Amino acid sequence: MNNQKNIHFEISERKLLLRLFDVVFVLGAMYLVGFLFNFEYFIFSVTNYYWAILLAIYINVFGAVFEMYNLQVASNHFQVLKSTVLTTTATVVFYLLTPILSPQLPKNRLQLLVFYLAFFIALYTWRMIYVRFLASNRFVQKVVLLCDKEQVEELILGLESADPHYKIIGYINSDTSIDDNFECHHVRCIKREELSSFVTENGISELVVASQKTDGITVDLYHQLIQLLESGVTIREYAQVFESKTLRIAVQYIARDFHRFFPFSRSNQNHLYLSIVRLFEIGLSLVGITIGLVLIPIIFIGNFFWNKGELFYTQERVGKDGVAFEIIKFRTMIENAETKGAVFTTTNDSRVTKFGKFLRKTRIDEFPQFINILKGDMAVIGPRPERPYFVNKIAKVMPFYETRHIIKPGLTGWAQVNYSYGEKMEDSLIKLQYDLYYIKHRSVYLDLGIAFKTISTVLFYRGQ
């Protein structure tokens, strides 16, 4: 019998711990090296406090770029080593290249080697502590679901795939017309009258209510839920839990009362935010167009030999408020790729040429879209613009799909950095969930997160 609740951390708490102790361990290592050895490059004092602040900023920025705060990466030994090497190298190089805010370069090059090794050893040591201790089963959060039998498997996969430390170990069948005799994977079906004892014996910390039916919540079950709530057990609604764990909106579980679950972000009407974003977009567009012009001769040669069609490719897409516009891209497919009609692009699509695949992976093919951004048809960040044919087709079977059009489509977006290319209708649903999450939580902080993830996508060659 185990009547003790396990200590657990939410996803946001884990990420905060990673960020905080990345800085603590690195700065601690610098202080220790300076105390024990003749290390003069990085010295702590009141007059140069900004050295430590700049180093902390670089650690968090490059840690985000190289996925140090992706919990799946942070729990994998090999991925941790790779990300730590990349983060250490990028941080040290940039820190050395900003001697106005950071220490001046030392004459003794051995000092730079000590700086690099101390940084790497400190960061990697902390991450191994996290993997072996905080990412272990000691901190698993045990959960019970209250749902219909046919929902169990889908709900379990949806939550546990997003947070491996979130374990659903039992469920209450809320459908009174079906016997309580169905088990899924490691999840046990709990009889209603045994809920309180099961929660106590197994150290359950949270109950998640996912059922849309109320007839299964009997008077006795209701009283048990009240008693558990009073005893400190958290009770949450599934759509809320799904959103916090997966960073998506569970549109399939939100009926006509979606306004209660889906308040739009105030940033969508915040003129100051929108004006700052627009100024940033204009500046970035000019830079992007300039880079695109520099790349054109190389792309022209590659297109001439491998794509064998016009260099630029235009296609009608749906923009803000459902207004169509012409998107501009570098060609990545063979000519007349859609003679049989519009179809979703798939992984290893035969219509995409080898050179086109390179352009897509590096996202070079999207540089002409900076012209669309400069014209105001698109934003830098937002839902990817879809073709009218697919919009009409998907909107007929998918609630809220056209809600994507309340803001401008983007060059990159929350769905693009979190999910692979959509090949079928089910993929469109998942991408819609990400897009709606962005519209709901749109902010400068989320925009920065998408920007860092986009950089990671390009650096790790994960374009579509």
- What phi, psi does 379 have (nearest 5°)? -110, 170
The pLDDT tens digits of the residues spanning 149-194 come to: 777 877 887 787 778 788 888 888 877 655 555 566 578 888 888 8
DSSP code for 209: E
Could you give the angle at the alpha carbon of 94 between the alpha carbons of 88 and 100, nearest 5°? 135
Alpha helix positions (H), 231-366? 238-246, 258-261, 271-302, 354-362
Q: Which residue has the higher pLDDT, 463 or 78?
A: 78
- Please state, rounded to an integer, the average pLDDT across all residues of the chain: 86
- pTM of the predicted protein model: 0.84
- Write down the pLDDT at residue 155: 82
The full set of domains in the chain, from first to last, is 11-134 (no CATH), 140-246 (3.40.50.11060), 266-459 (no CATH)
| Residue 321 contacts residue 382 (beta carbons within 8 Å) | no
Q: How many helices (H) and strands (E) does the chain have?
A: 17, 9
Most confident region among 14-28, 226-240, 306-320 by mean pLDDT: 14-28
**Token pair of 91, please?**
């941080």
Pairing of strands 188-189, 410-412: unpaired
Joined tokens for residue 392? 């009409």
Token pair listed for 19: 């960020």
Mean pLDDT across the stretch 221-249?
87
Give percent of the chain with pLDDT exceeding 90: 39
Q: What is the pLDDT of residues 301-330, one digit of tens each?
A: 998 888 888 899 899 999 999 999 999 999
Q: Are 117 and 178 in contact (CB under 8 A)?
A: no
User: For position 275, what pLDDT does the model report?
Assistant: 94
Q: Per-residue b/e over 233-269, b at no fewer than 16 CB within 10 Å? A: beeeebbebbbebbbbbbbebbeeebeebbebbebee
Phi, psi of 313 (to 5 degrees): -130, 130
pLDDT, residue 366, reads 92
Q: How far apart are CA 431 and CA 425, in angstroms?
A: 10
Angle at 221 (CA atoms; ends 215, 225), nearest 5 degrees? 120
Beta strands in 95-254 (DSSP E): 141-147, 166-173, 188-189, 206-209, 234-237
Question: What tokens appear for 383 in the block?
Answer: 């839902």
CA atoms within 13 A on the CB side of 359: 28
Q: Are strands 312-318 and 324-330 parallel, antiparallel or unpaired?
A: antiparallel
Using the structure block, give the residue that is written with the tokens 């939550």: 159
219-230 and 195-202 helices, crossing angle to 10°: 30
Residue-level pLDDT at 19: 96
2 has pLDDT over 60? no
Using DSSP's 3-state secondary structure scheme, residue 197 falls into: helix
